[in-house]
Amino acid sequence: MRWIWIDKFIEFNSCRNAVAVKNVTLAEEHLHDHFPGFPVMPETLMIEAMAQTAGILVGEAKKFQEKVILAKVKKAVFHDYVTPGDTLRLDATIETIAAEAASTSGTITCGDKLVAQIDLMFSHIDKNLAGKEFPQDNFVFTDTFKSLIQPMVARHAETGSEAQR
Amino acid sequence: MAHTRDEIFGQVRDVLVDALGVDDDEVTQDATLMADLGAESIDFLDIVFRLEKAFETKIPREELFPAENLINEAEYINNGKLTEKGLNELKARMPHTDFAEFEKDTDINKLADLFTVNAIVNYLDTKLNAA
């Protein structure tokens, strides 16, 4: 089982960029401990949200044939707190994509406010690690994960822009 | 556009500072990427991607860092050391690299020491200023 940490995509341009939304709620139990009386979203979980946004973008670029693993946090700069009730907008852009790996840049904003800048690298693990073998099935992109972009794909199909991809 | 060696070194240093989070005075010509600058395997790809952007050129990873492909071939490795055939092959694939020290002991664990800042600068110097 893999957990989903973003709520939906609102833009998805194959091989280029994507925008996802994450709503933060006090129903998330970890916010009760982080910190008692002063709930703020852990910065590591902002990186996770960006990793999911950018990771799905990178995975879709190779039609989910590659096992895409977060390999490096190239940059993570945080400018502001995120608190319950905030709606985060995650903008991810593919900077480079090759057979073995991809590099992405991204920003997290809340309204007009820049919350974080997060640049990541993903490894296509079957093409790396000196020929080590991994299970055949793609354990990274489960159906649940892929279902996140289904509404976007369906909308593309309706507007005819799917044909241009 | 011609690039002087100093210009190339300057840009390579900036790339390594950003990719590896090191200080610019640590990036000397002789520094090895792994032992001295702390690079790990994924960093090599990061470095390749960043160099491609900085120099606006395509850099095949196996051209700049060919050792990884080579050590997967049995005829090039014997008992943890590079065979003569393997060494010759590696030299052919890494003309931008100084092999003087490595030749004394071709232990594959020492392959990492071949990847120096200077090797990257040599590679780019040849690539960018060829023809």
**The tokens of B90 are what?**
């590696």
Say how many domains are in chain B. Answer: 2
pLDDT tens per residue across span B52-62: 999 999 998 88
Q: Give B-chain residues touching A98 at CB under 8 angstroms.
A: 45, 49, 61
Residue A37 inside a domain? The answer is yes
Residues of chain A contacting B, Cβ within 8 Å: 71-72, 74, 95-96, 98, 100-101, 103, 121, 123, 128-131
Measured in angstroms, the CA of A130 and the nearest CA of chain B are apart by: 7
Number of other CB atoms surrounding residue A116 within 10 Å: 23
**The tokens of B121 are what?**
């600068």
CA B108 to chain centre: 15
pLDDT band at A164 (very low <50, low <70, confident <90, very high): very low
pLDDT tens per residue across span B69-120: 777 788 888 888 889 999 999 899 888 898 998 999 988 888 888 899 999 9
pLDDT tens per residue across span A10-28: 999 999 999 999 999 999 9
**CB pair distance less than 8 Å for A130 and B52:** no
Domain range for A137 is: 8-156
pLDDT at site A121 = 97
| Local structure of residue A26 (DSSP, 8 states) | T
ipTM metric: 0.81
Segment holding A69, helix H or strand E: strand A68-78
- Where are the strands (E) in chain B, listed by range? 77-78, 81-82
**CB pair distance less than 8 Å for A71 and B52:** no
**CB pair distance less than 8 Å for B45 and A123:** yes
Q: Tell me if residue B112 falls in helix, strand or coil.
A: helix
B78 and B56, same structural domain? no
Catalytic site residue A34? yes
B36 and B20, same structural domain? yes
Say how many domains are in chain A. Answer: 1
Looking up residue B55, the CATH number of its domain turns out to be 1.10.1200.10
Looking up residue A76, the CATH number of its domain turns out to be 3.10.129.10
Residue A162 inside a domain? The answer is no
pLDDT at site B62 = 82
Domain range for B125 is: 1-60+115-131
pLDDT of B32 higher than 90: yes
Residue A164 inside a domain? The answer is no
Residue A2 inside a domain? The answer is no
B89 and B78, same structural domain? yes
Residue A84 inside a domain? The answer is yes
Q: How far apart are CA A128 and CA A122, in angstroms?
A: 11
Residues of chain B contacting A, Cβ within 8 Å: 19, 41-43, 45-46, 49, 52-53, 61, 68, 71-72
